[in-house]
């Protein structure tokens, strides 16, 4: 028996993978465990010893899983989800342990270096271009920060029974944004989520949102990867000119995960004052809204940013 590691960039995504794996393999005799900061110290120690003696077959986790003190009995396959989220340092460490194991990396938007390697034939690449049944492309608009645009977008979504993501990527003034939204839409319930909260509080808020307990989730990019909430189909991204292209594509992918039409509003303080590169990025997103456009977006990103060196950190 070989062991499989599924590596995810965030705790929330790892938890979600654990649920899905347990559901999919419920009729198989596999022992599936998740290693993340949501687990207590005692649970973590138990899981680590099970990994060591081979009792644990599938290990899902954040980069905690690939730290030096964790020894695998017989690692056979490493699956890296959202590969663009792992830095060069992580990848160099993975290279050390991966001489004799198979590696599968998954990403909707490969970083320029990975894409360049694939196009050059150094790595094998396969593209899943068929979208799930009944999915519709996400309508994307770039707009200045205007209260009526924000209010209309939220009204439309909430009136049809849906929920809204509002993304603001600075913890230090997220409370000010919360107050602004509260004044603008006093009748909606809004909650805040960011990575500086403690784990149980964060998990509780995400779970409440998942269970439709409130209307608007105001959060940082902590929701960027893998949060799968089918009922939330409008996302507003504040200061969208400050994000990278593939990052925005990932953020936009939080909505439109069911058969409802989804909307994404990229808000900027003033369209005329943003940099040339930011304009190019926002234009690329507005024009490439088809399903499966991740590959085209990644290619555009490669053109805008260049490929970087194939070896080393740069």
Between residues 114 and 43, which one has the greater pLDDT?
Answer: 43
Tens digit of each residue's pLDDT (9 = 90 or more) over 228-256: 788 889 999 998 888 887 788 888 888 88
Instruction: Report the SS3 class of residue 36.
Output: coil
pLDDT at 195 > cutoff 70: yes
pLDDT (0 to 100) of residue 28: 92
Half-sphere exposure of 188 (CA within 13 A, CB side): 28
pLDDT (0 to 100) of residue 236: 92
Q: Distance between CA 283 and CA 199 in Å, rounded?
A: 37
Between residues 194 and 306, which one has the greater pLDDT?
Answer: 194
Tens digit of each residue's pLDDT (9 = 90 or more) over 161-189: 999 999 998 888 889 999 999 998 899 99
Inter-axis angle of helices 276-287 and 294-305, nearest 10:
160
Q: Distance between CA 85 and CA 8 in Å, rounded?
A: 9
Q: Distance between CA 111 and CA 109 in Å, rounded?
A: 6
pLDDT (0 to 100) of residue 234: 92
| Residue length of the chain | 314
Q: Distance between CA 48 and CA 68 in Å, rounded?
A: 12
Q: Distance between CA 286 and CA 191 in Å, rounded?
A: 28
Q: Distance between CA 145 and CA 268 in Å, rounded?
A: 6
What does the radius of gyration of the chain's CA atoms come to, in whole angstroms?
A: 20
pLDDT (0 to 100) of residue 271: 79
Tens digit of each residue's pLDDT (9 = 90 or more) over 255-297: 888 888 889 999 888 878 888 888 888 887 777 766 556 666 6
Q: Whole-prediction pTM value?
A: 0.71
Q: Distance between CA 253 and CA 263 in Å, rounded?
A: 10
Residue pair 106/7 in contact (Cβ under 8 Å)? The answer is no
Paired tokens of 203: 């998990």
Q: What average pLDDT does this structure show over 300-313? A: 61
pLDDT (0 to 100) of residue 139: 87
Between residues 202 and 164, which one has the greater pLDDT?
Answer: 164
Across all residues in the chain, what is the average pLDDT? 82
Beta strands in the chain (DSSP E): 3-7, 32-35, 58-61, 75-80, 102-105, 139-144, 163-167, 190-193, 216-219, 232-237, 263-268
pLDDT (0 to 100) of residue 312: 57
Tens digit of each residue's pLDDT (9 = 90 or more) over 53-97: 889 999 998 888 877 778 888 888 889 888 777 776 776 666 666
Half-sphere exposure of 214 (CA within 13 A, CB side): 19
């Amino acid at each position: 028996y070989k062991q499989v590691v599924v590596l995810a960039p965030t705790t929330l995504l790892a938890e979600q993978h654990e649920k899905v794996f347990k559901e999919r393999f419920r009729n198989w005799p596999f022992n599936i465990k998740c290693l993340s900061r949501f687990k207590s110290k005692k649970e973590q120690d138990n899981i680590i010893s099970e990994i060591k003696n081979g009792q644990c077959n599938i290990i899902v986790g954040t980069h905690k899983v690939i730290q030096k003190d964790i020894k695998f009995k017989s690692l056979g396959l490493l699956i890296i989800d959202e590969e663009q989220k792992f830095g060069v340092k992580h990848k160099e460490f993975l290279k050390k342990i991966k001489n004799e194991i198979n590696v599968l990396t998954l990403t909707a938007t490969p970083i320029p270096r990975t894409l360049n390697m694939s196009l050059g034939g150094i790595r094998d690449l396969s593209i899943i271009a068929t979208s799930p049944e009944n999915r519709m492309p996400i309508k994307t608009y770039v707009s200045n920060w205007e209260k009526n645009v924000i209010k209309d977008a939220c009204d439309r979504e909430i009136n049809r029974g849906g929920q809204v993501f509002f993304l603001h990527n600075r913890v230090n003034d997220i409370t000010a944004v919360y107050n602004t939204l509260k004044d603008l839409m006093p009748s909606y319930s809004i909650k805040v989520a960011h990575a500086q909260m403690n784990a149980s509080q964060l998990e509780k808020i995400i779970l409440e949102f998942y269970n439709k307990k409130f209307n608007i989730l105001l959060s940082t990019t902590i929701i960027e990867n893998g949060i799968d909430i089918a009922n939330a189909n409008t996302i507003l991204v504040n200061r969208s000119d400050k994000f990278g292209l593939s990052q925005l594509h990932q953020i936009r992918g939080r909505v439109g995960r069911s058969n409802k039409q989804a909307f994404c509003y990229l808000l900027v303080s003033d369209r005329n004052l943003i940099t040339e590169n930011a304009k190019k990025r926002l234009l690329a997103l507005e024009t490439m809204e088809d399903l499966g456009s991740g590959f085209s977006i990644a290619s555009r990103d490669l053109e805008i940013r260049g490929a970087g060196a194939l070896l080393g950190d740069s």
